[in-house]
Amino acid sequence: MSGSGGTKTDGRVERGNQTRRLVLGRTMDIASVEGLDGLSLGRIATELKLSKSGVFALFGSKEELQLATVRAAVAVFADQVVAPLGDLPPGPGRVWALCRNWLTYSAGRVFAGGCFFYAVSAEFDARSGPVHDAIARTRADWAAYMEQELAAARDAGGLVEDVDVPQLAFEIIALMEAANAQSVLLGDAEIYRRAGRGIVRRLRAEAADGARDEIDGAGFTPPPST
């Protein structure tokens, strides 16, 4: 009895999900270049040839569109940077693989403006409100994840016991973000090689005896530009 109605409902839900994915794919690219303030329901509807009322029904407000864009970017980041680690065992080699994934994500312009979170952090760092809080939370989660991986590498015997995990995590993230910023501004892919070499040196300096060979001493080669 409910089959026909259920099919219609399922069809509407799927169309809504497809529209949502289409919208968020566009808003992530816009925000990585122009910032989250560059988003509006009307602009997105016009650019994607959608009804404004339909876009409004999905997101409700500019702020919700911004928050949904941040959540979508988190999912893309996890897929591009964290998921490829797979079952690599804890150690400096896994940490280097994580860093290499991040450099590939930035250099490969998964988002048009480079690292999405670097771009929107600069936009909202001195503000307050739900969007600021969402961005701050993602940044804190990323730093905590890097520290977790470094601590796991230490506990597995891959890093020296007295390694300053928060300091090392800070230095590694700083190198990656500096490469992203300079590459986006100057169009210089070579900076990713420099960042890769710097990260390798820091990991090798903190690696325990016998664990340095886990780290690729060649650094990082950016993917071909598209």
User: Tens of pLDDT along 179-188?
Assistant: 999 999 999 9
Instruction: Look up the pTM and report it.
Output: 0.89
What is the pLDDT averaged over residues 101-130?
95
Domain 63-214 sits in CATH at 1.10.357.10
Q: Which of 41-45, 140-144, 165-169, 213-217 has the lowest mean pLDDT?
A: 213-217
Tell me what the pLDDT averaged over the chain comes to.
Answer: 91
The pLDDT score that the predictor gives to residue 221 is 82
The torsion angles phi and psi of 160, rounded to 5 degrees, stand at: -60, 150
Which one has a higher pLDDT value, 83 or 54? 83
- Give yes or no for a contact between 196 and 169, defined as CB atoms under 8 angstroms apart: no
- Give yes or no for a contact between 102 and 176, defined as CB atoms under 8 angstroms apart: yes
Q: How far is CA 62 from CA 4, 51, 90, 154, 188, in A?
A: 35, 15, 41, 44, 34
Whether the per-residue pLDDT at 8 is higher than 70: the answer is: no
Which one has a higher pLDDT value, 23 or 226? 23
The pLDDT score that the predictor gives to residue 12 is 67
DSSP labels for 70-109? HHHHHHHHIIIIIGGGTTPPSSHHHHHHHHHHHHHHHHTT
DSSP labels for 22-73? HHHHHHHHHHHHH-GGG--HHHHHHHTT--HHHHHHHH-SHHHHHHHHHHHH
The pLDDT score that the predictor gives to residue 117 is 96
For 149, the enclosing helix (H) or strand (E) is helix 130-155
Whether the per-residue pLDDT at 120 is higher than 80: the answer is: yes
Whether the per-residue pLDDT at 1 is higher than 50: the answer is: no
- The residues spanned by each domain of the chain are 63-214
The torsion angles phi and psi of 207, rounded to 5 degrees, stand at: -75, 145
Rounded Cα–Cα distance for residues 93 and 217 (Å): 11
Whether the per-residue pLDDT at 104 is higher than 70: the answer is: yes
The pLDDT score that the predictor gives to residue 220 is 84
The pLDDT score that the predictor gives to residue 225 is 59
Question: Residue 169 is encoded by which pair of tokens?
Answer: 């995590």
What is the pLDDT averaged over residues 58-80?
96
Rounded Cα–Cα distance for residues 52 and 59 (Å): 11
User: Tens of pLDDT along 122-149?
Assistant: 999 999 999 999 999 999 999 999 999 9
User: Tens of pLDDT along 38-68?
Assistant: 999 999 999 999 988 888 889 989 999 999 9
